[in-house]
Structures are given as structure tokens and as C-alpha cells.
Amino acid sequence: MTEFDPQSPEAQAREAAAKQRFIALNLFRLSGIAIVMFGFLIMAQKFGFVAGQKAKIMGAIIATVGLFQAMVVPRILGRAWRTPPEQ
């Protein structure tokens, strides 16, 4: 078992990477929520560039993409960035 020195350059690099990854995951979640809200606004026909049934379909597609980004993408990135267990 190795000792963990919190002042070592390796430990500082790991901590900096962890902070950046945490921020990235939360930005993906927040932007996904914003996309979902934008999709709902389109479905409610609050914008003039699309109306009628097309607005509902377009809004549903955009909201689905936002849900994917808010819920699935952070899990995929978290799994890819996970530290492998020590053996």
C-alpha cells in the first residue's frame, strides 16, 4: 500500500482534473436542462419561427435531446473518467 502525499505534484494534478471533470459534468446537466426548457417553449408555440403540429414535433425532439444530454451523457462521461480500482 502506498502513502498518499496531498502536496505531491501527482496528487495536485489529480485534484485539478477531478475539479475540471466535476464542472464539465454539471455544465452538461445544466445545458441539458436549458435545452429541455427550450423544447417545451417551442411545444407551447412561444416562438414565431414554427407553429402548429410542426412546433410540437420539433419541441419534442429538442426536449428529448436535452433529456439525453442531461441524464445520459454525464453518466457516460463519469464512467469513462472513473478511476480504476486498485488491486
pLDDT digits (tens, 9 = 90+) for 21-43: 999 999 999 999 999 999 999 99
The alpha helices in the chain, defined as continuous H runs, are 9-43, 53-71, 73-81
Q: Which is more confidently placed, 49 or 68?
A: 68
Does 46 have pLDDT greater than 60?
Answer: yes
Confidence of residue 72 (pLDDT cuts 50, 70, 90): very high
- Distances from the Cα of 8 to the Cα of 17, 32, 57, 86, angstroms: 14, 36, 54, 19
What is the residue extent of each domain of the chain? 33-82
Residue 2 is predicted with a pLDDT of 55
What grid cell was written down for 45? 408555440
Confidence of residue 4 (pLDDT cuts 50, 70, 90): low
Which of 86, 75, 77, 69 has the alpha carbon at shortest distance from 21? 77
Contacts of 24 (CB under 8 A, 6+ apart): 77
pTM of the predicted structure, to 2 decimals: 0.80
